[in-house]
Structure 1
Amino acid sequence: MIIGITAEWNPFHLGHAYMVEHLKREYPDARLLAVMSGPFVQRGEPALFDKWARASWAVQAGVDAVLELPGTAALQSADRFAESAVLHLHTLHCTHIAFGTESATVQELQEAARWAASDEYLSVLHSFLKQRLPYGQAMTATMRSRFPKLAEKLMLPNNLLGFRYASAIIRHKLPIQIIAIPRKTEGTVSATAIREQLLSGHFMEYLPDFVQQDVKCLLASRHYTDYKRYEEACLLRSRFLPLKALSDSGLFSEGLEHRWFSCMKSGNYENALLKIKNRRYPYRRLKRIGAALLLSQGQGPSPYASMHQPAFLRLLAMKKGAGCLLKDPRIPIIVSEARAERTLSPDIRTALLQECLAEDIFSFCQEEEGFRQAGMNYYHSPVIL
C-alpha cells in the first residue's frame, strides 16, 4: 500500500502533521509518498521558504519521500492542479491518494465524481455556461441540480479539491483509491494567516517543534521570500511585454490582454491586478497569469498555458532506506540536475531549464542578498534524513 499526498506545506504546520500521524496510525504498513509544489505554489506566487526545507519537514514528520511537482503543473487552475497531481502520483505506483476534507465523505465524493463524468452532467453544465456564469459557479449550479446538499459541501475548498481528485481518477481510469481525512478545525488557523504572522515572529505555536526551530533560523537569517520584490519583478516583466506577446502567451481570453497591457502601467502590481479583476478572472487566477508571464520570459505560447503530461519528478527529500520506493517509476526521477541534462531527452531537458528558471526567480526574490544565488537546482542535493 503506497499512499500519495499532494502538498504545498507552505509552511508545514500542525494540521499537516496531524494528517501524516493519522495515516501512519490507520495504515501502519503503508508507505507515504508526496508530490509537492516547488518554488511557486498554486495561488500564483513563490512559497515563503525554499522547497528543500519544506520537503525535509514532511520527512521528519513521517513521509517517506517528497518529490517536486513541476511548476507547469503547480501553477494551474485547481482542477488542472488536482488532475496533474493524481497523474504524477500514479507514475510513482501509488495505490491510494489521501487528502483532508471539511465534511465530505469518500462515498459522496465518488458519487459526485461519477456523475460529473456523465454526458448528462456536461449537458447541464454547458447550459449554465451559456448563461455566462463563471466556471466555478456553473459547476456549483450543475451539482446542485442533482445533489443539493453535496453541492453546498463542495463550496468548501478542501471538499472541492477532494472531488477533483476523485474526478481525475475516474476520468483516467486509474487504479487508485481515495482516503478522505476529516480536518481538525477547532483552534486552527489558515496557512495564509500563519505565513503573514510568521514574518512578525508570531504564530510559531501552530508549527511542530522541529519546524519552529528551523523557521526561527530562516527568519533570523532572512532566508525567505520578499513578496514586494517579487511583485515588482512581475510588474516590470509585464511592462516589457508588447501587446502581441500577451496575446500569443495563451494565458488570456475575451481580450483581457488589452486590459492587462493598460493596467500594468500602474505603479503598484497589486493595485493593477485589482483593476483587472472581474467575475471570470478572480484575483488568484490573475496572480497565476502574472507568475506565468514572469516565468515564461516572453515565450509564446507560455509553457504554463496548458497542462502537460507527467515527464519527470525531482527528488527533494527522503528517509534513509526509502529509495526502494523510487526504483521503478514510470517517469525519470531527477536526483542530479547535471546528470539529467546529459542523459535525458531534449524535450525533458527543455522542461528542466524552465524549472531551473523558476528556481532562479525564487532565489532572486529572497529577502537576504546572500541567498539570491542562481543555479540552486545544480548545487542542492536531495535531503536524506
Structure 2
Amino acid sequence: MKAVGIIVEYNPFHHGHVYHIEQARKLSNAEIVIALMSGPFLQRGEPALVSKWSRTEMALLGGADLVFELPYAYATQKADTFAQGAVSILSALQCHALCFGSESGEIENFLCTLDFLQDHHKEYQLKIQEFIKTGVSYPQAASMAYRELCSSDQFVDLTKPNNILGFQYIKAASDQKLNIQLLTMKRRTAQFHDQQLSTSSIASATSIRNVLLEEKRRFSEVKPYIPSYTYHLLIKYKDQFGALHHWENYWPFLKYRLLHTSATELKNIYEIEEGIENRMMTAAVQAQSFHHFMTLIKTKRYTWTRLQRACIHILTNTSKTEMKENTQTATYLRLLGMTPQGRQYLKKRKKQLTIPIVSKLSSFKNSQINLDIKASRIYSFGISDPYRQALLEQEYKQPPIMLSPIPNNT
C-alpha cells in the first residue's frame, strides 16, 4: 500500500480540503492519504476554532485515512521549521509522496527556485540583510530580496502564502535527502487570506471563521462552503463545549501573564527578541482586548503572525531552551484517527517504523510530547467550566477515532 502525505490545519475543514485530499490521492496514485494536522495552536499563531479531535472527525469523513498530530514544537513555528518537522514526520510514516496546495500549481517552478537559491545562497542572504537594515521584518526582507534576484516566470512567486510553505516543504525534503515524490495542486478560487466569503462553493478558512465568530452572523451562512458533516460537527462542538475558540477568549490569561511576569523572565520565552517584551508589558496595561493589544505592539519589523506566535508561547510559558531541545528531531507519531483502510496500512507498516506510534498518552512520556500536553491544557482555557474540564479530560481519555469516509464527501 502506497501512502501520500498532506500537511494540514483544517480550521475548519471545507470543500477546498476535500478537493486537496482527492487530488493528492489521484496525483500520487496512492491508496492511503495521511493527514499530518496541527494540534490546538496553529502556525499563524492562533488557537484552532475547535479541538483536534473534532477536526480529526472532519478529516476522516472527508477522505483522509490516517490523521496524526503535528507536535506543538513544529506546529507553532515559522515556515522553515514548521516544514522541516512536518516533512520529517511524513517520511517517518513511510509516505512515498507529499502533495501540497499552492497558488502556482507547477512543481517545476518550485524545483527551479530551489536550485537557483541554493546556487546563489550567499548573494540572497546579503540582499536580505540589506533590506532588514531598512527596518522591515525578515519575511518582508526575504520577499524583497527574492523579487530582486528572481524575476523570471520559471520561478515561483514567493509573495503568496501557500507558495511560501510549499517551497519550504521542497527545501526540507532536499535538506533531509528524502526519496519522496513532490506534488502540488493549484488552489481553487479562494485565496488563503480572503476575509469575505467567495461567490463559489470554495471559500477561505479565514472568511469562514470570520462568519462563525461574528456574533451578529448566523452559522447557516457558511453552509454552502463546508461539507454537511463539518457544519454539524461545528454545531455539535459549540453545544458540547459552549463556545468556539478564538484569541479574545484567551486575552485575560495572556494579560495576566504579561502583567505579573518580569521583563527578564519574558526574554527567555521563545520568539521574544529585541526588547519586544517591554512593548508588550506596556501595551498590556492599556489594551482592552487582544485585537487592541496587537495593534499597540505591531511594528514594521514584526509581522502580525510572528507576534501572535510569541503570545502563544507566553501563554504556554515555552522557553527558547525548550524549543531548541524539541525541534532537533521528531520522537513520536501521535495517532488521532483512522479509517479501516488506514488501520490496515499501520498494521502492515508498524514494525518498519523507526519512531513509536502513540495512541495513549499514558504509554509515552518525553519533553516533546509534554509540550503538546501543556498546549492542550492551556487551549482548554478558551472555554469555561464545566466544559473546560471535559476538554481537559478528553486529551487523556480519547482513543484514536475510528470512522469511515462519507461517500461523495457531502
2:372 to 355, 360, 364: 355
Of 258, 261, 264, which aligns to 1:241? 261
Q: CA deviation at 1:308?
A: 3.6
Write out aligned runs for 1:269-348 (5 A): 269-296=290-317, 299=319, 301-303=321-323, 307-326=327-346, 327=350, 328-341=352-365, 348=366
Q: Quick one: distance in 2 between partners of 1:27 and 1:167?
A: 20
CA contact (8 A) 1:365 1:372 kept: no
Match in the other structure for 1:381: 399
Question: Which of residues 204, 224, 246 is equivalent to 2:223?
Answer: 204
Q: How far 1:281 sits from its partner (Å)?
A: 0.8
Q: CA deviation at 1:63?
A: 1.1
Give the whole-Å Cα distance in 2 for the aligned partners of 1:30 and 1:320: 12
**Aligned partners of 1:76 and 1:307 also within 8 Å:** no
Q: For residues 333 and 152 of structure 1, what CA distance do their matches in structure 2 show?
A: 36
**Cα 1:123/1:153, change in 2 over 3 Å:** closer
Secondary structure of the corresponding residue to residue 285 of structure 2 = coil
Q: Where do 1:1-385 residues align within 5 Å?
A: 1-118=2-119, 120-131=120-131, 132=133, 133-150=136-153, 153-185=157-189, 187=200, 188-199=202-213, 200-201=218-219, 202-221=221-240, 222-225=242-245, 227-268=247-288, 269-296=290-317, 299=319, 301-303=321-323, 307-326=327-346, 327=350, 328-341=352-365, 348=366, 350-366=367-383, 369-373=386-390, 374-385=392-403
- Structure 1 residues 69, 208: CA separation in 2 closer, same or farther (over 3 Å shift)? same
Q: Is the 8 A contact 1:10 1:47 kept in 2?
A: yes
Name the % identity. 29
Structure 1 residue 96: Cα displacement: 1.2
1:344 corresponding residue in structure 2: none
Deviates more, 1:207-216 or 1:174-183: 207-216
SS at match of 1:251: coil
* Cα displacement string for residues 90-140 of structure 1 (whole angstroms, at most 9, x for unaligned residues): 11111211111112410010111122233x223332233134243223322
Q: 1:372 to 1:323 in 2, by over 3 A?
A: same
Once residues 327 and 130 of structure 2 are traced to their aligned partners in structure 1, the CA distance between those partners, rounded to angstroms, is: 24
CA distance in 2, matches of 1:359, 1:40: 9
Distance 1:332 1:77 in 2: 26
Single out whichever of 245-254 and 9-18 deviates more from structure 2: 245-254
- The answer to whether the Cα contact below 8 Å between 1:249 and 1:302 also exists between their aligned partners in 2 is no
Instruction: Evaluate the alpha carbon distance shift between residue 219 and residue 204 of structure 1 in structure 2; reply closer, same or farther with a 3 A threshold.
Output: farther
Moved more, 9-18 or 124-133: 124-133
Deviation at 1:50, TM superposition (A): 0.8
Count, aligned residues: 376
Question: 1:53-96 CA distances to partner (integer Å, 9 max, x unpaired)?
Answer: 11121111221100000111111012221222111111111121
Q: d(CA) in 2 for partners of 1:163 and 1:91? A: 20
Amino acid of the structure 2 residue aligned with 1:194: I
Over residues 299-330 of structure 1, what are the superposed CA-to-partner deviations in whole Å (9 max), with x where a residue is unaligned? 56453798342111211110124234331322
Q: CA deviation at 1:238?
A: 1.8
Q: Indicate if the aligned counterparts of 2:43 and 2:82 stay in contact, CA closer than 8 A.
A: yes
Contact 2:46 2:309 in 1 (8 A): yes
- Structure 2 gap ranges (5+): 191-199, 404-410
Instruction: State the TM-score, normalized to the length of structure 1.
Output: 0.90
With over 3 angstroms needed to count, the CA separation of the structure-2 counterparts of 1:246 and 1:302, relative to structure 1, is farther
Following TM superposition, by how much is the alpha carbon of 1:223 offset from its aligned partner in structure 2, in angstroms? 4.8
Matched residue, 2:194 = none
CA deviation vs aligned residue, 1:181-234 (integer Å, no higher than 9, x gap): 111106232211101212431212211122222222223443522542212212
Question: 1:28: how far off?
Answer: 4.6
**Alpha-carbon distance in 2 for matches of 1:137, 1:382:** 40
User: For the structure 1 residues 127 and 375, does the alpha-carbon distance in structure 2 shift closer, same or farther, using more than 3 Å as the test?
Assistant: same
Q: Whole-Å Cα distance in 2 between the matches of residues 81 and 351 of structure 1?
A: 15
- Listed as ranges, the gaps of 5+ residues in structure 1 are 342-347
Flag the 1:250–1:60 CA change in 2: closer, same or farther, 3 A: closer
- Give the superposed CA RMSD: 2.3
Deviation at 1:7, TM superposition (A): 0.3
Counterpart amino acid of residue 317 in structure 2: S
Any conservation in 1 of the 2:113–2:156 contact (CA below 8 Å)?
no
User: Match of 2:179, SS?
Assistant: coil
Q: Tell me which moved more, 62-71 or 249-258.
A: 249-258
CA contact (8 A) 2:103 2:162 kept: yes
Query: Higher mean Cα deviation, 202-211 or 372-381?
Result: 372-381
Using a 3 Å threshold, how does the CA distance of structure 1 residues 306 and 335 change in structure 2: closer, same or farther? closer
Deviation digits for residues 219-254 of structure 1, max 9, x if unmatched?
344352254221221221222211110122242222
Secondary structure of the residue aligned to 1:3 is strand
